[in-house]
C-alpha cells in the first residue's frame, strides 16, 4: 500500500501548528476525514437535501435511497445478517444507552448481574450503573491484570448464569488491549448470557463480523472511522430487537397513533424516532466505501506495525511507563506516563511542537485508579500516520524531559 499517497486524501493533515508540520496522534478520540467523505456531505446539502421516508418528491426520494443504501453498507461492513439489524444512532454512547433503556429495562430484575470489565470507557459503564439503580440489578467487573489483559480466572468465577448481560470493550481506548471478543461471547453464550461489544476502537481498524463474533449487540461511532461526528450504529440480533420496546417516541417510528394508544414499526425504524442525521448517515456510507477500498486487513496490519514500533521507540525515553501490552498484537495506541511531567503539561508541550495527543483519564477513571496514575498521555494512530511521525514524537519526548527536568 502507498500509505503516503493515501495520507494525501486527508486535507487537514497538510498544515502547520505552532510553526511545525502537524503530527496528528489523537485518532482514538476522533479520526480525520478524507476528501470523499467531505465531498459526500457537500453533495447531499448542495443537491439532495430533504427529509427521508416522508415525501414523494424527487429530493426526498434521492435522500431516502442514499439513507437506506447506507444501512445496507453498514450491515455488510460489520457482517450483519440483514440491514434491518442496523439502527442508526448518534454514536457508541447512544447505542449503549438505547440497549440499557429498552432491552435492559425490560429484562433486568432485582439481584440480576450486569458484568463489565475493569477497562471500560465511561459510556460502557455509567449506563449500566443507571440501569442497576433503576432495576435493583448488581454491577460487577472483571479485574485487569498488570499487563493490561483481563483476569481469565476471574471470568470463570464471575460469568455465571446469574449474569444477564456481559458488556465489554473490543479494544481498550486506554490500554490498546484487544480483548478476545469471539471467545468471550462464546463463554457468555454457554451460560445463556446476552453480550454487547463496544466496537468504538475496533470498527474501522480491523475486519468486523458480528456473526462470527457471536455477539448479541455491537456498537460503533462513525467519527472514529473516518466518518462524520454525531452518527453511529447499533447492531442487534433481530430476535432480540423484535422484543424490545421503543426508547424515543415521535415521528417515523409509528404505524398508527390515536389519543389512547400507538403502534410501532418493526426494527430498525422503531428505534429511529424523528428526523435522523441524514447527512451523517450518507457521510458514514462514504467512509465505509473509503475504508473498504483500502482494505480492513491492510489497515489492521499498518496499525499493528505503527503501535509496535511506537512501543519500541518510546521505551527509549527514560522515566516512561507504558500501560497495556508491551509487545505483540495490540490496538493502534500507546498510553504512557512520564515520571517528570503531568499528562496535561506534556500534551501542551507537545502541542507547541505541532503534535496533537490526548492527556487525562480518557473516560476510564476506574482504570486509572487501578494503575495508580492520575492519568496518561495517549498517542493514537491510524493508517494516515507514519513511522517518521513516531520518530518525531520520540524526539519531542526527549525534548520534554530536558525541559521539565
Residue with cell 435492559: 104
**Helix (H), strand (E), coil (C) string for the chain:** CCHHHHHCCCHHHCCEECCEECEECECCCCCCCCHHHHHHHHHHHHHHCCCCCCCCCHHHHHHHHHHHHHHHHHHHHHCCCCHHHEEEECCHHHHHHHHHHHHHHHHCCCCCEEEEECCCCHHHCHHHHHHHHHHCCEEEEECECCCCCECHHHHHHHCCCCEEEEEEECECCCCCCECCHHHHHHHHHHCCCEEEEECCCCECCECCCHHHHCCCEEEEEHHHCCCCCCCEEEEECHHHHCCCCCCCCCCCCEEEECCCCEEECCCCHHHCCCCCCHHHHHHHHHHHHHHHHHCHHHHHHHHHHHHHHHHHHHCCCCCEEECCCCCCCCCCEEEEEECCECHHHHHHHHHCCCEECEEECCCCHHHHHHCCCCCEEEEECCCCCCHHHHHHHHHHHHHHHHHHC
Could you tell me which of 215, 216, 170, 145 has the C-alpha nearest to residue 332? 170
Distance from C-alpha of 228 to C-alpha of 292, rounded to nearest angstrom: 17
Q: Is 185 a catalytic residue?
A: no
Catalytic residue among 185, 215, 226, 363: 363
Q: How many residues does the chain have?
A: 405
In 3D space, the residue among 184, 174, 129, 123 whose CA is nearest the CA of residue 154 turns out to be 184
CB atoms within 10 A of CB 14: 10
93 Cβ contact partners less than 8 Å away, ≥ 6 residues apart? 123, 221
By annotation, the residues acting in catalysis are 363
Amino acid at each position: 500500500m502507498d500509505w503516503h499517497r493515501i495520507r494525501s486524501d486527508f486535507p487537514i493533515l497538510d498544515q502547520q501548528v505552532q510553526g511545525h508540520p502537524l503530527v496528528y496522534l489523537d485518532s482514538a478520540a476522533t479520526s480525520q476525514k478524507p476528501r470523499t467523505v467531505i465531498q459526500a456531505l457537500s453533495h447531499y446539502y448542495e443537491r439532495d437535501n430533504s427529509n427521508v421516508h416522508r415525501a414523494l418528491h424527487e429530493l426526498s426520494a434521492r435522500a431516502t435511497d442514499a439513507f437506506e443504501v447506507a444501512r445496507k453498507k453498514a450491515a455488510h461492513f460489520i457482517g450483519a445478517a440483514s440491514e434491518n439489524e442496523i439502527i442508526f444512532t448518534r454514536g457508541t454512547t447512544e447505542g449503549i444507552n438505547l440497549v440499557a433503556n429498552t432491552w435492559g429495562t425490560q429484562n433486568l430484575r432485582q439481584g440480576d448481574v450486569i458484568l463489565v470489565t475493569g477497562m471500560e470507557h465511561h459510556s460502557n459503564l455509567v449506563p449500566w450503573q443507571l440501569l442497576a439503580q433503576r432495576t435493583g440489578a448488581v454491577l460487577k467487573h472483571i479485574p485487569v491484570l498488570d499487563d493490561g489483559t483481563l483476569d481469565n480466572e476471574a471470568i470463570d468465577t464471575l460469568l455465571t448464569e446469574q449474569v444477564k448481560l456481559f458488556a465489554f470493550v473490543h479494544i481498550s481506548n486506554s490500554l490498546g488491549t484487544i480483548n478476545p471478543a469471539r471467545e468471550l461471547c462464546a463463554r457468555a453464550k454457554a451460560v445463556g448470557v446476552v453480550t454487547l461489544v463496544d466496537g468504538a476502537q475496533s470498527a474501522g481498524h480491523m475486519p468486523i463480523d458480528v456473526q462470527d463474533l457471536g455477539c448479541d449487540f455491537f456498537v460503533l461511532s462513525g467519527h472514529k472511522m473516518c466518518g462524520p461526528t454525531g452518527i453511529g450504529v447499533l447492531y442487534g440480533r433481530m430476535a432480540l430487537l423484535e422484543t424490545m420496546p421503543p426508547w424515543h417516541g415521535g415521528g417515523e417510528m409509528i404505524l398508527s397513533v390515536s389519543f389512547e394508544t400507538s403502534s410501532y414499526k418493526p426494527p430498525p425504524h422503531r428505534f429511529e424516532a424523528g428526523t435522523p442525521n441524514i447527512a451523517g448517515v450518507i457521510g458514514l456510507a462514504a467512509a465505509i466505501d473509503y475504508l473498504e477500498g483500502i482494505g480492513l486487513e491492510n489497515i489492521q496490519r499498518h496499525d499493528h506495525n505503527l503501535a509496535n514500533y511506537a512501543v519500541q521507540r518510546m521505551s527509549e525515553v527514560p522515566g516512561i511507563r507504558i500501560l497495556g501490552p508491551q509487545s505483540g498484537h495490540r490496538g493502534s495506541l500507546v498510553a504512557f506516563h512520564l515520571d517528570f511531567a503531568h499528562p496535561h503539561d506534556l500534551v501542551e508541550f507537545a502541542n507547541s511542537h505541532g503534535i496533537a495527543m490526548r492527556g487525562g483519564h480518557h473516560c476510564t477513571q476506574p482504570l486509572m485508579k487501578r494503575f495508580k496514575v492520575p492519568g496518561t498521555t495517549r498517542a493514537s494512530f491510524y493508517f494516515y500516520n507514519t513511522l517518521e511521525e513516531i520518530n518525531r514524537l520520540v524526539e519531542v519526548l526527549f525534548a520534554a524531559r530536558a525541559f521539565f527536568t
